[in-house]
Structure 1
Amino acid sequence: MYKRNYRNTEDAISILGFGCMRLPKINPDRPEIDEVAAQALFDYAFEHGINYFDTAFNYHQRLSEPFVGKALKKYPRDQFYLASKMPGFLVKEEKDVDEIFEKQLENCQVDYFDFYLCHAISDESFKVYDDCNIMEHLLKRRADGQIRHLGFSFHGSPEKLEELVERYDWDFVQLQLNYVDWNVQNAKRQYEILDAHGLPCIVMEPLRGGTLAVLCDEAAAVLRESEPDKSLASWGLRYAATLPNVLTVLSGMSAMDQVADNICTMENFEPLSESEMALVNKAGDIFTKTKTIPCTGCRYCMDCPSGVEIPGLFKLYNEYMLGEDKNDFVNGYKALGPEKQESQCTACDQCTEHCPQSIDVPEALKKVTALAEKLL
């Protein structure tokens, strides 16, 4: 597996990291992890050189960290890098910080985290870090060696990013970066800020929740015409890893074919050439005109107090916009049932507050309603 060294150290990080937010599940409608299938993915990944594993307290409704701890326990601690995150959105008072961190160490069955992040920071969400002195506690943990590298994952404006990187002594930052969001969410400027400050960039959502592994027919044709034997996903991974300040590219892999294909792409990594970069940008431009809802399926909006299956509805909508398969939309929509459809939405905006993509969820659900009325 191709690796990059963290700054000027001997820590060699695999260019492909294993994201643990979308592990295989026993039931697609439930958070419980299919541990046998997930362990097989971890074993295959580790055997093929992946040594960076990224989890979080709230992934799989708090089941990801305990599974990751069990799955990696069989391997020597000095042969993998483990990342997890402080869920500031769950901190109500200062004592919560240490309680959560200790629980995370217990969940993951480790004495320290190699990389630790303030989770899902936006323009507004850092306030709790000030109010509850979270940074004071995390900086102490770093000084004590329980955090080797401290950073944050970011979903906000370049102005806020600039403010944050100058405010504390960070070791790295995690950005949503892909060939669509390079312009759509100004990931270009965010990446440039990190580069200017000498902060390594860890990439999340290189395939935008899987949508760039599918694309619309016209965008897909641009890439397949050039490399018919390469997966669409491979283009997205290579795009992110081509940037020299990227340390690792996280992929939330949930099936063996995904793991195998991604490893095939990255184990002998080759940066995109200028002509390949032009093709990717062309495919991205076509994709942005499909007018999909920019949902990545992270499920931070869930559970909806009214029972609406928000990510499921957006997935049905986006799949129709990309492929225009009426039967798939109608069958999937009916299968959800009235109790999970957008008609139950009360526009409480709880979901919008938690969305890393800043989607106005009630407004986006109106698009689902309009499509359903058109097709049903």
Structure 2
Amino acid sequence: MKKEDKNISRRNFLKIFGAGTVATGLTLAGCKKSEESVIDDYKKQVEPPKGKMTFRTNPKTGDKVSLLGFGMMRLPDTGGKAIGRESDDPIDQEMVNRLVDYAIEHGVNYFDTSPAYCKGMSENSTGIALSRHPRNKYFVATKLSNFSEETWSREESIKMYRNSFKELRVDYIDYYLLHSVGQGGMERFSARYLDNGMLDFVLAERKAGRIKNLGFSYHGDIEVFDYLLSRHDECQWDFVQIELNYLDWEWADEINDRNTDAVYLYNELQKRGIPSVIMEPLLGGRLANVPQYLAKEMKQRDPEHSIASWAFRYAGSPEGVLTVLSGMTYMEHLKDNLLSYCPLKPVTEDEKKFLYHIAEELVGVETIPCNDCKYCMPCPYGVDIPGIFVHYNKCKNEGTLPRQVKDETYDKLRRDYLIGLDRAVPKLRQANHCIGCGRCEVHCPQNIRIPRELRKIDEYVEKLKQGTF
């Protein structure tokens, strides 16, 4: 949804923004300044109170759902990192159990997973952790994540659906989603859910009671979103998962050609009385790792809370929001998010204006809109796509990218960037190994033109190596 008073065109926005986000600083290798600034937010962290969680009521079922939902897509591994590109270590199940126990102890009862998360291991790990608790203590959400053409057949899709019950150790699923609809437009959506009869199948499964709430998560083409809402009388969607944060609220359609502002998505759901489940409240970590000058401004306004808490309070404030998902790898992240919602202090109108000011400032930061979701992985040629983007974005946000003007800091910044890149991404997985096949693009929820961005970074790195940039 565009506003007349926006003073920047789509073309200029894309030229300036290139777009972007950074993953949470604690999980990144490279520039120490960012990591230390994030850790500083937790040095004086207090214990979140018990019995203070804010709950929202699902108007369709009466479920009392915790406003903080636990996203099980960035689970810790035994090497102390988030499962994904950082290592091939197994999930640290003991740590996952501790996180889940602490979350439930403090009121969290919504846990969101997928067959695609954590290299296919998230559902199993989530099932192990949750099955140690009474079944009425939690709601589990999972998805029909039939992304690849090999899983589009009815047989393979049903196999994926039934395997979720096995992995999660349940005989019903509380919240089930058609995953990432909109990517690839109506043609791809039809192949995944209509032509194979899977939409009719999951509707029948809900009627049979094996699915308690049925919805979908939206990424990309607004035609698909509007189509599904046009079938609401028939499908009776129980909830819809959308991306919502203070940058996406008005600027999403400017960041990506096919994404739509959150204000439109949320209001369309509100018109139909459909609860919203929120993903990307931090925009993949970008809103927790804002440039230092903005972080200073936010800290001056609220010195007692983290930068991330602003985004969580914003995402949880609309009354139509059922729960806000956060992928939490570390106990510090969980505790900080609990402090935001135990209980929620809704953002005021004055605070909204302040956050929109921050959003407009972020528009001018030339980064790449990567949320580090890893849906583009694995690359058939071994390129670590999110790792390359994360390193670039991190240094861009910190102002440590070497500039074309060679001043007294150029040689140091040039050296730091190249060394940091080699530490973050092995040489054989860097951008110069991309052949431009484009297989990654269709899987990107942010609609990044991945080969193009990798080519630009490769050219930039080559110039740095030669000392010509």
TM-score range, shorter chain: over 0.9
Matched, 1:110 2:110: no
**C-alpha contact 1:22 1:253 (8 A) present in aligned 2:** yes
Deviation at 1:30, TM superposition (A): 2.2
Q: Distance in 2 between matches of 1:59 and 1:188?
A: 28
Deviation at 1:298, TM superposition (A): 0.4
Superposed CA offset, 1:35-82 (max 9, x none) = 121211111111000000000011011100000000001111011100
Q: Distance in 1 between matches of 2:306 and 2:158?
A: 43
**C-alpha contact 2:60 2:238 (8 A) present in aligned 1:** no
Q: Secondary structure at the match of 2:440?
A: helix
**C-alpha contact 2:175 2:212 (8 A) present in aligned 1:** yes
Q: Distance in 1 between matches of 2:126 and 2:89?
A: 14
Q: Which residue number corresponds to residue 421 of structure 2?
A: 333
Q: Which residue number corresponds to residue 348 of structure 1?
A: 437
Deviation at 1:25, TM superposition (A): 1.7
Q: Which piece of structure 1 moves more, 298-307 or 81-90? A: 81-90
Q: Distance in 1 between matches of 2:211 and 2:238?
A: 11
Q: Which residue number corresponds to residue 59 of structure 2?
A: 7
Matched, 1:127 2:190: yes
Deviation at 1:374, TM superposition (A): 4.8
Q: Which residue number corresponds to residue 238 of structure 2?
A: 171
Q: Distance in 1 between matches of 2:264 and 2:366?
A: 23
Q: Distance in 1 between matches of 2:295 and 2:463?
A: 27
**TM-align CA RMSD:** 1.5
Q: Distance in 1 between matches of 2:58 and 2:210?
A: 18
Residues 191-230 of structure 1: matches in 2 within 5 Å? Answer: 191-230=266-305
Residues 183-332 of structure 1: matches in 2 within 5 Å? Answer: 183-185=250-252, 186-325=261-400, 326=413, 329-332=417-420
Q: Distance in 2 between matches of 1:183 and 1:105?
A: 38
Larger Rg: 2
2:217 corresponds, among 153, 160, 171, to 153
Normalising by structure 2, we get a TM-score of: 0.78
Q: Distance in 1 between matches of 2:380 and 2:108?
A: 38
1:363 corresponds, among 423, 429, 452, to 452
Deviation at 1:358, TM superposition (A): 0.4
Deviation at 1:111, TM superposition (A): 0.4
Superposed CA offset, 1:316-346 (max 9, x none) = 0100110033365322312323210100101
2:68 corresponds, among 9, 13, 16, to 16
Q: Distance in 1 between matches of 2:60 and 2:374?
A: 37
2:106 corresponds, among 43, 48, 52, to 48
Letter paired with 2:239: F
Q: Secondary structure at the match of 2:147?
A: helix
Letter paired with 1:332: G
Q: Distance in 2 between matches of 1:340 and 1:8?
A: 47
Superposed CA offset, 1:151-197 (max 9, x none) = 00001243431211122321110001111112232121111111112
Deviation at 1:9, TM superposition (A): 4.1
Q: Which piece of structure 1 moves more, 139-148 or 165-174? A: 165-174
**C-alpha contact 2:93 2:125 (8 A) present in aligned 1:** yes
Q: Which piece of structure 1 moves more, 115-124 or 314-323? A: 115-124
Deviation at 1:373, TM superposition (A): 3.5
Superposed CA offset, 1:128-172 (max 9, x none) = 211211111101110111100000000124343121112232111
Q: Secondary structure at the match of 2:78?
A: coil
Q: Secondary structure at the match of 2:350?
A: helix
Q: Distance in 2 between matches of 1:166 and 1:329?
A: 49
Matched, 1:78 2:136: yes
Deviation at 1:261, TM superposition (A): 0.5
Q: Distance in 1 between matches of 2:105 and 2:438?
A: 44
Q: Secondary structure at the match of 1:65?
A: helix
1:182 corresponds, among 232, 238, 249, to 249
Q: Which piece of structure 1 moves more, 331-340 or 220-229? A: 331-340
Select the structure with the greater relative contact order (CA < 8 A; seq sep ≥ 6).
2
Deviation at 1:218, TM superposition (A): 2.4
Q: Distance in 2 between matches of 1:114 and 1:228?
A: 39
Q: Which residue number corresponds to residue 40 of structure 2?
A: none
| Alignment gaps of 5+ in structure 2 | 1-52, 80-85, 253-260, 401-412
Letter paired with 2:289: V
Q: Distance in 2 between matches of 1:26 and 1:108?
A: 21
Matched, 1:25 2:77: yes
**C-alpha contact 1:293 1:318 (8 A) present in aligned 2:** yes
Q: Distance in 1 between matches of 2:271 and 2:324?
A: 20
Deviation at 1:350, TM superposition (A): 0.5
Q: Secondary structure at the match of 1:292?
A: coil
Identical positions, percent: 38
Q: When the two structures are aligned, how many residues end up with a matched partner?
A: 376
